[in-house]
């Protein structure tokens, strides 16, 4: 399969949490297949509508945002570099995940201190940056529509994305933009289904290299176990 963009994600390992997340979004990033949405009562709109925006990305938390390959690099060399980096990065354990609202969308966020994961993400962003082609003027203009701060603008210029390093906030997106009342209704409806599935503690033992194919859907390419020593 040919990919036009690549990224480094946290994706849950196979199990009940990963299965429910894939069903909720309607896309299984591991198998690269569409799946039927679950039947959940109390939702303000059909699941298919509310998950249309995040569906293509699959259930994930971004570690290094999607990028096009720089000239002179290849997928094979990127895989090799990621494999080498994974041997130097230690697994991360955090308190857990919480069902939250971020602005106008519903997501899973870190319960407690996210610093160890932010540090991990920062290392990945910087270590693999040679593989990232500069963003296009169109992409830069789209990012700047979000009223970036001066710091976010500097990060966009340096790393191709405004929400990395000290601006990194880990989250697993579950919906597109919703009205306030809709977001609250989704949280209420989802909570009893997700509560028994959310990992407590939340372990990040590996990272996943993903690729976006020509139809815009993201696929798991390879999962890399983190085998480094903790500081």
pLDDT of residue 231: 66
pLDDT of residue 39: 94
Q: What average pLDDT does range 93-105 have in this prediction? A: 96
Domains and CATH numbers, the chain: 5-225 (3.90.1140.10)
Mean of pLDDT over the chain: 96
pTM of the model: 0.95
pLDDT of residue 38: 96
User: Is the pLDDT reported for residue 227 higher than 70?
Assistant: yes
Q: Which two tokens stand for residue 130?
A: 């040679």
pLDDT of residue 145: 86
Q: What average pLDDT does range 204-217 have in this prediction? A: 97
As a whole number of angstroms, the distance between CA 18 and CA 28 comes to 9
As a whole number of angstroms, the distance between CA 74 and CA 190 comes to 41
Q: What average pLDDT does range 105-120 have in this prediction? A: 97
User: Is the pLDDT reported for residue 207 higher than 80?
Assistant: yes
User: Is the pLDDT reported for residue 148 higher than 80?
Assistant: yes
As a whole number of angstroms, the distance between CA 96 and CA 202 comes to 4
Per-residue pLDDT tens over the stretch 71-86: 999 999 999 999 999 9
**3-state per-residue secondary structure call for the chain:** CCCCEEEEEECCCCCHHHHHHHHHHCEECCCCEECCCCCCCCCCCCHHHHCHHHHCCCCCEEEEEEECECCCCCHHHHHHHHHHHHCCCCCEEECEEEEEEECCEEEEEEECCCHHHHHHHHHHHHHCHHHECCCCHHHHHHHHCCCCCHHHHHHHHHHCCCCCHHHCCCEEECCCCCCHHHHHHHHHHHHHHHCCCCCCCEEECEEEEEEECCCCCEEEEEEEECCCCCC
Per-residue pLDDT tens over the stretch 151-160: 999 999 999 9
Per-residue pLDDT tens over the stretch 177-202: 999 899 999 999 999 999 999 999 99
- Residue 165 gets the label, from left (phi > 0), alpha (psi -120 to 50) or beta, of left
For the chain, give the percent of residues with pLDDT over 90: 95
For the chain, give the percent of residues with pLDDT over 70: 100
Per-residue pLDDT tens over the stretch 31-53: 999 999 999 999 999 999 999 99
């Amino acid at each position: 399969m040919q990919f036009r963009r690549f990224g480094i994600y946290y994706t849950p390992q196979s199990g009940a949490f990963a299965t429910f997340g894939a069903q909720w979004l309607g896309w299984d990033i591991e198998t690269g297949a569409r799946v039927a949405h679950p039947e959940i009562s109390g939702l303000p709109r059909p699941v298919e509508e509310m998950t249309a925006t995040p569906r293509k990305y699959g259930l994930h938390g971004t570690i290094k945002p999607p990028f096009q390959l720089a000239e002179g690099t290849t997928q094979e060399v990127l895989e090799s570099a990621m494999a080498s980096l994974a041997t130097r990065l230690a697994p991360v354990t955090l308190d857990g995940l919480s069902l939250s609202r971020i602005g106008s969308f519903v997501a899973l966020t870190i319960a407690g201190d996210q610093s160890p994961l932010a540090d991990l993400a920062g290392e990945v962003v910087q270590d693999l940056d040679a593989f990232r082609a500069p963003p296009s003027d169109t992409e830069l203009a789209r990012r700047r529509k979000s009223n970036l701060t001066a710091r976010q603008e500097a990060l966009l210029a340096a790393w191709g994305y405004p929400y990395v390093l000290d601006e990194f906030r880990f989250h697993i997106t579950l919906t597109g933009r919703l009205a306030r009342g809709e977001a609250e209704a989704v949280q209420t409806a989802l909570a009893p289904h997700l509560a028994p599935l959310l990992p407590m503690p939340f372990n990040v033992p590996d990272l996943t290299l993903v690729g976006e194919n020509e139809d815009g859907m993201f696929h798991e390419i390879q999962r890399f176990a983190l085998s480094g020593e903790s500081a």
